[in-house]
Amino acid sequence: MVESEQDVALEDTDRIEGRSALVNNTNATLALASAVRSTLGPRGSDKMLVDENGEIVVTNDGVTVLETAKVEHPTANLLIATSSAQDRIARDGTTTSVLLTAELLRNALELSRIGVHPTIIINGYQIAAEESLSQLDEIARDASDEDLMAATATTMAGKIDTTLAETMTGLALEAARALENEEGGDDLERIRIKRLKMTGGVAADSEIIHGLMLRKQRLDFTTDGHSNGGKIAIIDGGLENRELELDAQIEIRSTGVLSGFQERKSAKLAEQVASLSSLGVDLICVRDGIADEATPLLKEAGITAYRRFEQEDLERLSILTNAKMVRDVNRISADDVGDYSKRSADKIDDAWHVRIDGGRGAMTALLRGTTPIMREEVNRAFDDALGVAFRLVREPKVLPGGGGTQTHLARHLRSFATTQKGREQLAIEGFADALEVIPRVLAENAGLDPIDEILALSAAQAEHGAWYGLDAMSGEKSDMGDSGIQDPLFVARQALTGATEAAITVLRIDDVLWAHVEPKTPDWSNQIDDD
Ligand code: ADP
Ligand code: MG
């Protein structure tokens, strides 16, 4: 069939729209990437962000910068989602994934300008990503204890001072190891470890407690605060008899028989306490309230009670002591009761704290700092370190940091490209070039000449292999294993796949999504680089 003139014209329009969408999307991505570029690496600068309420946030963290931004561009939002996913899955590498996505798109646009079709680019990128992933496995090494420390500390480089980073690395690895054989999903380390900010002491005095510590005082001070072990019941509700009270309101209004109601209520509570006592329980933790009438009954039964818990803390207690969360105290059975090995009640920093030790599975991080701001910072640092340490312990493989990994991949892909067919070669080379954004920006942020550094690093790798990278603090090229600059394999892998997927998604958009709405490129004018 002969193409009509109209068809040809339509095709042209499509192509132009496709290209202009790519130009537009790439520009949005580059704008976003330029907002986080200066934060990369240990010499990255902090960003000062001003939100719409005039609140100021100072951060060195890519994902924080992006999540604080108000962005309306769909592609920019895709990029933010990619970096959030990176944060959720790997807890690190967010800036890297954003820079990589932007660079992949920049190079794709260049290729499309010289006539390479998006489908070919997508193919080439997929081949390159796959080859890169297998190279990552090739150069990754099994992490020794020292490597685990180094990789966790590298995560915090430039974010906090080195001494604090060391303390947090130690705590995070201690906690991560204790969770090593526990089952659970992505958020396990957040669920199982309670963070308690303490006012006394300095950051370096922070510690992990292999038990649960909560800021709470017991219901009745005349009951035992300390014990060397016993049985615990966790009540997922109250010890109150709400039902009876509701009935009573009606009853009292109509008949006014108050004393009868009180008696029935006490009898019911006595039954409940008796059933706890018959199971040998000497400690109860109650999510809601405890009726006043229950206090003397509990004391008589030798039961120490704590009330008003957050759900998360009860869950941690349940894991720690193997006690089930019971809704209805009347139906409690021996199966529901848990064991603890020790408990204490002490006044610390002017507040009562209860500490309950049990088997395994739940911990408390006591995070100390002299000021609220310091405690916040310690908390954030612990969170960063723990997220990475927890995953590292599960997959103890590390890669060279300091741009070493990406330089190796770029070098490898360039020679690999020659084994591939035709135009895909160009896309694979474009992928290789994009990877070099990491060493380039690391050098840039360290005040070094990026071109010289990339050439020198490439030459150093030709001689010494993939583990050579750029130490941004000294400016020297060295073995990243010896220098302790290491990135976890799972961080690099996620950054690579996340960025490739995001770039490909954008490349597949062949029309402008927002049709008649004028797309907005993010406005970064409210940011100041804070060197
Ligand atoms: P991201 O959000 O991607 O994790 P970061 O600002 O944390 O961004 O920077 C991470 C990068 O910094 C990694 O590539 C890591 O290897 C590199 N890096 C960390 N410490 C050093 C160092 N001392 N010298 C060179 N590169 C480093
Ligand atoms: Mg990082």
Cβ–ligand 1 distance for 131 under 6 Å, the answer no
The enclosing H or E element of 10 equals: helix 5-37
Identify whether the C-beta of residue 354 lies closer than 8 Å to the C-beta of residue 214.
yes
Atom of ligand 1 nearest to the CA of 92: 4
Please name which of 194, 240, 119 lies closest in space to residue 363, comparing C-alpha atoms: 194
Handedness of CA 388, 393, 395, 396 (dihedral sign): positive
**Ligand (nearest to CA of 86):** 1
The CA distance from 211 to 231, in Å, is 15
Cα 111–117–120 angle (5° rounding)? 90
CB 208 within 8 A of CB 177: no
Ligand 1 centroid–CA 432 distance in Å is 19
Active site residue 7: no
What's the number of CA atoms in the CB half-sphere (13 Å) around residue 457?
37
pLDDT at 250 (0 to 100)? 55
d(CA 317, CA 361): 9
Pair of tokens at residue 471: 């130490």
Of all protein residues, the one whose alpha carbon is nearest to atom 10 of ligand 1 is 41
pLDDT at 298: 96
- Å from CA of 159 to ligand 2 middle: 8
Find where tokens 């089952």 sit: 183
Q: Which of 75, 95, 155, 405 is catalytic?
A: 95
Separation of alpha carbons 404 and 341, rounded Å: 49
61 is catalytic: yes
Find the length of the chain. 531
- Ligand number nearest CA of 63 is 1
State which amino acid sits at residue 531: D
State residue 519's pLDDT score: 47
By C-alpha distance, which of 52, 149, 212, 150 is closest to 402?
A: 150
User: How far is the centre of ligand 2, averaged over its atoms, from the C-alpha of 488 (Å)?
Assistant: 10
Closest Cα to atom 16 of ligand 1: 401
457 lines ligand 1 (CB under 6 A): no
CA 96 – ligand 1 centroid, Å: 9
Q: How do 338-340 and 527-530 pair as beta strands?
A: unpaired
293 CB neighbour count, 10 Å cutoff = 17
Strand locations in 421-488 (E): 468-470, 477-479, 486-488
- Can 433 be counted among the known catalytic residues? no
Instruction: Take atom 11 of ligand 1 and give the residue whose Cα is closest.
Output: 41
Give the distance (Å) from ligand 2 centre to CA of residue 145: 20
How far is Cα 503 from Cα 121, in angstroms, rounded to an integer?
10
Atom of ligand 1 nearest to the CA of 61: 2
pTM: 0.85
> Is the separation of the CB atoms in 264 and 213 below 8 Å?
no
Q: Which residue has the tokens 């006690």?
A: 323
Q: How far is the CA of 314 from the CAs of 130, 309, 317, 326, 444, in angstroms? A: 44, 7, 5, 11, 49
Distance of CA 2 to the CA centre of its chain: 58
Indicate whether residue 488 lines ligand 1 (CB < 6 A): no
CA angle 311, 315, 319 (to 5 degrees): 170
Determine whether the shortest distance from the Cβ of 498 to ligand 1 is under 6 A.
Answer: no
Token pair of 495, please? 């950054």
**CA-to-CA separations, 43 to 40, 46, 66, 508, in angstroms, rounded:** 7, 9, 19, 36
Ligand 1 centroid to residue 325 C-alpha, Å = 44
- SS3 of 67-104: the string is HHCCCCCHHHHHHHHHHHHHHHHHCCCHHHHHHHHHHH
Could you read off the pLDDT tens digit of each residue along the chain, which spans 531 residues?
344 444 444 444 444 555 778 888 898 899 889 989 999 999 988 777 676 677 776 677 777 777 777 677 888 889 999 999 999 999 999 999 999 999 999 999 999 989 898 899 999 999 999 999 999 999 999 999 999 999 999 998 888 888 889 999 999 999 999 998 888 887 899 899 999 999 988 999 999 999 999 999 999 999 999 999 999 999 999 998 765 555 555 555 555 566 677 778 788 899 999 999 999 999 999 999 999 999 999 999 999 999 999 999 999 999 999 999 999 898 899 999 999 999 999 999 889 999 999 988 899 999 999 998 889 889 999 999 999 999 999 999 999 999 999 999 999 999 999 999 889 999 999 999 999 999 999 999 999 999 999 999 999 999 999 999 999 999 999 999 999 999 999 999 999 999 999 999 999 875 444 333 444 555 555 555 554
- 14: three-class secondary structure by DSSP: helix
Q: Is 14 marked active-site? A: no
Taking CA atoms only, the protein residue closest to ligand 1 atom 26 is: 402
Distance CA 418, CA 479 (A): 29
Atom 27 in ligand 1: which residue has the minimum CA distance?
402
Choose the catalytic residue: 29, 64, 94, 152. 94
| Count of helices and strands (H, E) across the chain | 19, 19
Residue 478 Cβ < 6 Å to ligand 1: no
- Asked if 43 and 446 count as a contact pair (C-beta separation under 8 A), the reply is yes
Helix, strand, or coil here: 50?
A: strand
The two structure tokens encoding residue 46 = 């902090």
Backbone angles phi, psi at 399, to 5 degrees: -125, 160
**Catalytic entry in 26, 39, 46, 61:** 61
Please say whether the beta carbons of 400 and 467 come within 8 A. Answer: yes
Residue 28, Cβ density class (10 Å: 0-12 exposed, 13-18 middle, ≥19 buried): buried
Locate 355 and state its tokens: 């500490």
